[in-house]
Every structure is written in structure tokens, then in C-alpha cells.
Structure 1
Amino acid sequence: MKNKLKLISCAFLLCTSAITSAQEVVIDKVAAIVNSGVVLESEVRDLIQTVKNQSAKSNQDLPSDAALRVQVMDKLINDALMVQIGERMGIQISDAQLDSTLTSMAQENNLSLEQFRTTIEADGVQYDKFRESIRTELITGEVKRGSLRRRIYISPQEVSNLLSAMKEQTNNDVEYHLGHILIEFPPEPTQEDMTAARDRAQKVIELLNNGSDFAKIAIASSGGDKALEGGDWGWKNINEMPTLFSEIIEGKEKGAIIGPIRTGLGFSIVKVKDIRGRQVVEVEEVRARHILIKPSIILSEAKAEAMLQDFREQIIAGEADFAELAKEHSEGPTSVKGGDLGWADPSIYDPAFKDALASLKVDEIQKPFRSSFGWHLAQLTGRRTLDATKQMNENKAYQMLYQRKFGMESTRWIKELRDEAYIEVFEPSN
């Protein structure tokens, strides 16, 4: 198998390099073989340049090109593995879903989609390549969530215990902005391997205590899944952290360097980058109904949109009833209820659907729009603000427990994938 893959790689190089006998131009090269797929040198170069551009914008120092290449290769190999899993699982991101995501990204930056594209290209990134990289991120996110959901179990007793602890805890309103560096063990580590990893972790702590840049070291040395983001774990309160970390971090001051913390994956080093009090946010629920039309080979995107626009005009003119049209035409499971979705937290909906409801007044009907499920005609029928309820607290506790376990389980899962995969990395040519 290994020799066969090498032959495939060599054939690829020959096909893309020799244009004429008088002049050889290498169009692209294989940087790594990942099972039956490849990572191309152009992908490595593009991601390295993207990381450099982002770091320049934020005045963030980077490690050496060699160290940066190692981290970039790791990410691209991990992405390749997860895309392969996504193909086996049948996960697909349509162009409509992709456009919806890109539109949301543009809106988050207060830009139109065209302005967003111009900004991307101004950074020296080809928009088509950026667009496909977002498709890959969406696929890998779906694969990771789907695969880890089956590996993470949270018992009702764990939720109950956490709820009790939250009631007793006096500093539950404190959040910590954390940075994380993982000095990994190799597969099936010996005592010597563990001692060597601890020595490396101690050296990292020494560098950090002497003023070295945390993010730069994380990019260069961390085996964690946030390495290319400088090890940034974001804001977490004590209940959202892995238990092993929360017991050590609680009460620490801003700037504290904590570790090395021994885990099953290696030695962790954590920095408290900042501390803040949790803001109290009221929870808003919305009630809506919709008519869903799914495009097909027979029914085009344009035809689906036109059908819903016609329905909207009939309803506004008083010539048709929303609920009756939903019962007759909607393809969603709520069609029997006239499209009624009931009361819900809008965050549970597809981003495009959530954004559409956010812009409506009560009883207003949105113009037809596309989500990952198809074309919708949606009407907001109610909006209310609720205080925290028992169910919401239970959901919150569940999510905290899930986040505690997700990070470590994600790193462990990816490590298992790599151990089971055929991976061959080629040295870059000078």
C-alpha cells in the first residue's frame, strides 16, 4: 500500500512539473499523503501566508518558518482526515449554505458580501480559495461535533451535582480568559518520554515567566487544537473548565502561569490572560411559523423562491391563510401544525433563519430566504423575555459539562485518527 501511494505521488509530480523538455515548471507538489488523499504544497503556502497576514494585523510575533510549517501541516492533515470522514458520513455543504455562512461573516464585520470579498483579496488571499477553506471548516466542524457527541456522556447526576455546586459557589460570576499550551506525549509513552515532556514543559514555563510571548510559543510548540490561534481558549468560568484545571485556576490573578498540569495527553500549561465579571443577560424567546420548500432536480432554486414570494403576496393581500398554505405545501415536520415552530431560543435555529427572525416585528412576514434546509417563508408570531428557569439552568449546566469534556476528548480523538491513518510527510524542497 505504501509503495503504491508513493507511485501515485510521483506520478502526480511528473504530470504537473514537466511542460516541455526544454523548460521544467513545477505547478504544484505533494506535501503529504493522508490515506488515499494528498495535501498540496500550495495549500501549505497559502495557510502559512494567511497566518502571517493575521499575525501582522494583530502585531503578533510568530515562531520560525520551520516551526510554523509544522503546525500548518498538522492542521491540514487533520482537516484532510476529517474531510475524508465527512465524505464517508455523507456530509455535504451546498453552495447555498456556504453563501449563507459567508454573508453572516460579512455582516458580523458590518460589511456587504462584496465588501467582504474585497477585504479578503486586499489581504492577498484568492477569494475562491478562501471560500473553499470555509467549506472545509464547516465540514470538519460537523464531523467533529457528530463524532464527539457519541464519545461524550453526561449523566443526569453530573448535571444535578453541578447545579448544586453553582448554587453554593460565590464566584460563579467570574470568567477567566485562558491561554493553553499542551506538551504532548508520543503514542504509548515510556517513562523516559514522560520525563522528557515534563522537562520541555518546565522549559516553556521558564520562558513564559521570563517574558516570552505566550501565543508565539503556543503556535511553535503546542499540541492542542487551538495552537494556530496562539492557544487561545477564550473566556470560561470555573464550571466550564475541565475539573482538573478549575481546581487550580480558581482564585488566580491575571497574568498567572499555571503548570505543568499532567493529563492523559501530556503536560498542560495555562495562562490567565484576563479576568472579568459575568454579565447578566436576559433570555429572549421567539415564536414563529414557516413554510419550507426544498429545491430538487425537478424544482429549481429560482422556482422555489418564486413560489414562496407568490405565497407571501397572497397572504398579505388576504387571499390566503399562512397556516393552510403551510399544511398544503411545507416540507418540514411542522407542516401539520400550520408551520408553527412554538416558543424557542432563536440560537437553536439555522443562522440564516435566526437572522431572518431577528429583523422582523411581530406578525411581519420575511421575504423568502435560503437556509441550509431550503427556502423559507417565515412569520414572527411572538417575542418574549424570560427569567432563568429550571430547565434553562439544567441546559446551561449540561453545556458547561460538555465543554469541559469536549476539548480534551477532541484532542484525544484526533490523536487516535492520526495513529490509525497512513500519513507520509515530504520534506519541502529548497
Structure 2
Amino acid sequence: MKFIIRAMLLGALVAFSGVAQETRLDRVAVIVDQGVILESEIQALIEEVRQNAKENDQSLPSDRALRTQAIERLIAKSLQMQMAERMGIQISDPQLEQTITNIAANQGATLDDLRRQLRQDGVAYEDYREDVREEMIIGEVRRANVRRRVYITEQEVNNLVKIIEEQGAEQAEYRLGHILIGFPPDPTDEDIASARDRADKVIELLNNGSEFAKIAIASSSGSEALEGGDMGWLNINSMPTLFAEAVQNYSEGELIGPIRSGAGFHILKVKDTRGIEKVTVEEVNARHILIKPSIILSEEKAKSMLSDFREQVKAEEAEFGELAREHSEDPGSALRGGDLGWADPSNYVPAFRDALANLEPGEYSDPVRSSHGWHLIQLLDRRIDDATDKRKEDRAYQLIFNRKFSEESEAWMREMRDSAYIEVLDS
């Protein structure tokens, strides 16, 4: 529809121009189902590719091949934008502005900095803004249609986790502080008990804030005592087996021990780590009510329903869970009163995730539009969770998902293109 309107406007402008015959008409170059691609769009994309190639000192194929590639890119874009219209996917202005602000922040800049850079590059901010909107819409369309085609087994994840763990074991390094409370040769039970008492006192001093290096210099029998007990960086496989087993699952700054060996009691401090994935993540506990627009339920009506629900629950005239059970169209959570349980917010679609980020526990969102429909969201709570093992599984899952998503995206696009009516018009 967007392309049709543009073609109509161009036709109208030329029709009313006194120099119409001297103006080269923009023309429809490709028909794509219910939309069209204009010659000007093809030329603009080709020019963009040429400019990028020039800046990167890259060579390009023939003009014909370049035009073919540009047309294929625009066909794919047109098909996805038309599907977005059929699905009712929209990106609101506040959501768009937040995304652009995030883009700038990721580059260490402000929104004003980004605007200035665009002006210097000769790019109108409004054009850039609409390009970002289209990219976001296409992303939502692809996620909604391709995600359900991706199937990952538990065995696939477990196999990859093992590989990640093996790689991690080779890369993991610790910088350890070491204090040895030694035994005399052929220690008696009394010697061992005395050493244990001194080791316990050292642990107590360290837990009360005493400086590790100072205690090591004063008390350690280890060879690195004069260096404050600093053993330097050690690969997990190169340190003593007793230490390698002990340091597993300990984080920077933590004390370990006393650990007994034939030499005495060892006290370790993890001074630093590298090549180790020790992760904590913020999780959110939320619930929602989902209303999906349809032929008989307009976008505005769906949004209005959720606005009414929000006012009712805030006024304590209705209970959120009951409204969710009665009205929510999310089968996975409706029976639980909309409860989504604890989850990493990055698992949610961007619009839902961003809405949660702006809520405090107990607060309700305004109606939020995502690729699934309209949501009313309540953030119940937040927590920080040690997700090291879970993150390994998530990382493995994400690696597999990314590979399969890419494969299925290509297959989906091929299927969509094969089933579409496409006519490339003669020049």
C-alpha cells in the first residue's frame, strides 16, 4: 500500500506540472503481489551499495548483476512488509524513538549526536527514522513466522553444553592468592590440630578485613610468601589438582579453605578470573492479558479494552487474574491468571521486554502492542539469579537457535517468494 500511494503521488505531481514532458517519470519496475517497487527505489539501493563499496575499497559485479541483487532485496522487503500489514504489526512512535535512542547509546552517543551525524552524512532524520521502523517491523514479522519452525531437542543442547564446558576448562584461568600453614616433618596429631587452629584464625582475620598479602608474608610457608602469596595466573589444568578441584564455582574475591594436604593447610583467595563464565542475571516475574485484534475486533477496540481493564484493577474494581482467565488470548498463561513466572526479560519480544524495563514491581503498563497483539502487563517482582549453569544451556540453545533460525529464515523467504505473484517489468 505504501508503494502504491507513492506511485499515485508521483503520478499526480507530474500530471499537474507544467514541465511534465521534460520530467523523466518514476515508474513501477516490479509488481510484488499487492505492492510495487519503483525504479527510484532500485536506483537508490544501487547507489547506496556503490557508495559503501567505494568507502570500503571493494569491487562490484556488473551493473546487471547489481540491479538483479537490488531487485531481489526489495522483493523480499516488500513481501515482508505486506505480511506485516496483514498481521497488523505496527511500531509505535515512542517504541521507535526508544530504539533509535538505544542505537545511539550503543555507539556511545546521544540522540542529538546521531541527528548531527546524519546531517553531516546528508541523510534526513525522518528518512532514517522510517528505515529503522521498517527494519523493526521486518524483524517482528520474521520472528513471528520463523520461530515456530525451529525445533531444538534437549539432547542437542546437552551435547553443545559439554563442548562449551570442555572449551571453558581449557581457557579458564585464575589469579590465586595462597597461604600455607605448614606441618613439621612427620607431624603428630597435636601438630595437625595446632596448624588447623592457626589456619582457622587466618580465615577469621581475612573475613574480618585483614589484608591477604600482609597475612601471607607474615604467616605463609608457601614459596610465594614474599610476594604476598600471589601465585600469578594459572590455567585450571596447570595448577595443583587439589587447587583445581577446590576453585571450581568460586568467584573473584572469595576465600577457599582451609584445605588439607600432606604439606599443611592451604588457604586460597580468588583474586581474579578470566576465560570463565560466571553469570548473574536479572529475572522478572510478570503477568499479562493478551488481546488479539481481528476482523471483528479493531486495533483501537483491543487497546481500549485493556485500558479499561487497567483502570478497573487500579481502582480495585476487578482482579487482574480473573480478567486474564476470562479475556486473555494467551493459552499458555490465561489459565494461570496471566502469570508468566520467573524469566529472563530478554526472552520476550522487544516491545514486551521494553515495557517491563520501565515498570517497578506492582506497576501496570499502558496497553503495549507487540507482534502477538495488545498486552496489559503487570511486573510482580525482580530478582538477581546465579545463572551460570543456566546461561551455559541458554548459550548452547541460542547458538543452535541462531543457526536453525538462519536456515529456516532462508527457507521461509524462498517459500513466500515462490508463492507470490512477481512481475519484473521491462525497462
Q: Is the Cα–Cα contact under 8 Å of residues 44 and 73 in structure 1 kept in the other structure?
A: no
Matched residues in 2 for 1:172 and 1:156: separation? 25
Aligned pairs (5 A) from 1:313-328: 313-328=311-326
Match of 2:280 among 279, 282, 306: 282
Deviation readout 1:324-352 (Å, 9 max, x if unpaired): 23333433333332221112221122212
Aligned pairs (5 A) from 1:20-419: 23-29=21-27, 39-48=37-46, 60-63=55-58, 74-81=69-76, 83-84=78-79, 92=87, 94-95=89-90, 97=91, 99=93, 102-108=96-102, 109=104, 124-125=122-123, 130=128, 133-134=131-132, 136-138=134-136, 140-141=138-139, 156-170=154-168, 281-295=279-293, 300-333=298-331, 334-388=333-387, 390=389, 392-404=391-403
Between 328-337 and 402-411, the greater mean CA deviation after superposition: 402-411
Q: Indicate how the Cα distance of structure 1 residues 123 and 17 shifts in structure 2: closer, same or farther if over 3 A, else same.
A: same
Q: Is the Cα–Cα contact under 8 Å of residues 117 and 127 in structure 1 kept in the other structure?
A: yes
Normalising by structure 2, we get a TM-score of 0.53
Letter matched to residue 370 of structure 1: R
Q: Indicate how the Cα distance of structure 1 residues 155 and 131 shifts in structure 2: closer, same or farther if over 3 A, else same.
A: same
Q: Indicate how the Cα distance of structure 1 residues 328 and 162 shifts in structure 2: closer, same or farther if over 3 A, else same.
A: closer
Residue 292 of structure 1: how far off its partner (Å): 2.9
Matched residues in 2 for 1:121 and 1:394: separation? 44
Q: Is the Cα–Cα contact under 8 Å of residues 32 and 424 in structure 1 kept in the other structure?
A: yes
Matched residues in 1 for 2:145 and 2:165: separation? 33
Letter matched to residue 338 of structure 1: G
Q: Indicate how the Cα distance of structure 1 residues 344 and 55 shifts in structure 2: closer, same or farther if over 3 A, else same.
A: farther
CA RMSD, Structure 1 to Structure 2 (Å): 5.1
Matched residues in 2 for 1:112 and 1:293: separation? 35
Q: Indicate how the Cα distance of structure 1 residues 404 and 374 shifts in structure 2: closer, same or farther if over 3 A, else same.
A: closer
Residue 281 of structure 1: how far off its partner (Å): 4.2
Name the residue aligned to 2:180.
none
Deviation readout 1:187-238 (Å, 9 max, x if unpaired): xxxxxxxxxxxxxxxxxxxxxxxxxxxxxxxxxxxxxxxxxxxxxxxxxxxx
Letter matched to residue 369 of structure 1: V
Deviation readout 1:223-282 (Å, 9 max, x if unpaired): xxxxxxxxxxxxxxxxxxxxxxxxxxxxxxxxxxxxxxxxxxxxxxxxxxxxx9687542
Q: Is the Cα–Cα contact under 8 Å of residues 285 and 385 in structure 1 kept in the other structure?
A: yes
Q: Is the Cα–Cα contact under 8 Å of residues 53 and 60 in structure 2 kept in the other structure?
A: no
Matched residues in 2 for 1:70 and 1:127: separation? 31
The SS at the match of 2:21 is coil
Q: Is the Cα–Cα contact under 8 Å of residues 83 and 139 in structure 1 kept in the other structure?
A: no
Matched residues in 2 for 1:146 and 1:313: separation? 30
Q: Is the Cα–Cα contact under 8 Å of residues 16 and 26 in structure 1 kept in the other structure?
A: no
The SS at the match of 1:342 is strand
- Unaligned 5+ runs, structure 1: 1-12, 175-275
The SS at the match of 1:105 is helix
Matched residues in 2 for 1:104 and 1:23: separation? 45
Matched residues in 1 for 2:291 and 2:412: separation? 38
Letter matched to residue 74 of structure 1: Q
Matched residues in 1 for 2:297 and 2:83: separation? 27
Which structure has the bigger radius of gyration? 2
Residue 383 of structure 1: how far off its partner (Å): 1.3
Q: Is the Cα–Cα contact under 8 Å of residues 102 and 113 in structure 1 kept in the other structure?
A: no
Matched residues in 2 for 1:342 and 1:27: separation? 58
The SS at the match of 1:23 is helix
The SS at the match of 1:363 is coil
Name the residue aligned to 2:245.
none
Q: Indicate how the Cα distance of structure 1 residues 299 and 123 shifts in structure 2: closer, same or farther if over 3 A, else same.
A: farther
Residue 369 of structure 1: how far off its partner (Å): 3.2
Q: Is the Cα–Cα contact under 8 Å of residues 47 and 72 in structure 1 kept in the other structure?
A: no
Question: What count of residue pairs does the alignment treat as equivalent?
Answer: 310
The SS at the match of 1:398 is helix
Matched residues in 2 for 1:375 and 1:147: separation? 18
Residue 288 of structure 1: how far off its partner (Å): 0.8
- Unaligned 5+ runs, structure 2: 1-9, 173-273
Deviation readout 1:335-375 (Å, 9 max, x if unpaired): 33222111222112221221111122211222333333333
Name the residue aligned to 1:207.
none
Q: Is the Cα–Cα contact under 8 Å of residues 162 and 397 in structure 1 kept in the other structure?
A: yes
The SS at the match of 2:381 is strand
Letter matched to residue 282 of structure 2: E
Letter matched to residue 28 of structure 1: D
Between 413-422 and 36-45, the greater mean CA deviation after superposition: 413-422
Deviation readout 1:43-70 (Å, 9 max, x if unpaired): 13433565688899xxx54547877996
Letter matched to residue 78 of structure 1: R
Deviation readout 1:137-175 (Å, 9 max, x if unpaired): 45654666678768877555443332222222147879x
Residue 77 of structure 1: how far off its partner (Å): 1.2
Residue 380 of structure 1: how far off its partner (Å): 0.9
Normalising by structure 1, we get a TM-score of 0.52
Letter matched to residue 365 of structure 2: Q
Matched residues in 2 for 1:151 and 1:294: separation? 21
The SS at the match of 1:379 is strand
Q: Is the Cα–Cα contact under 8 Å of residues 294 and 375 in structure 1 kept in the other structure?
A: yes
